[in-house]
């Protein structure tokens, strides 16, 4: 039973997004990536 649980894919329902005030480009890319994952 435990082996079967380990083989199932993990599903996350929340995305944690960190915004870096000094690096707008990476924050924008992270936001775009997060919204892409949220729509899947």
pLDDT tens digits for 17-40? 777 788 888 888 888 888 888 766
- Can you tell me whether residue 11 is helix, strand or coil? coil
pLDDT of residue 2: 59
Confidence of residue 6 (pLDDT cuts 50, 70, 90): low
The pTM for the full model equals 0.48
pLDDT of residue 16: 73
**In whole angstroms, what is the distance from residue 10 CA to residue 16 CA?**
16
Domain coordinates in residue numbering, the chain? 9-39
Q: Please say if the pLDDT value at position 4 is more than 70.
A: no
pLDDT of residue 3: 59
């Amino acid at each position: 039973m435990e082996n079967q649980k380990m083989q199932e894919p993990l599903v996350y329902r929340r995305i944690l997004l960190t915004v870096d005030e000094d690096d707008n480009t990476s924050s924008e890319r992270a936001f775009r990536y997060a919204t892409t994952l949220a729509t899947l």
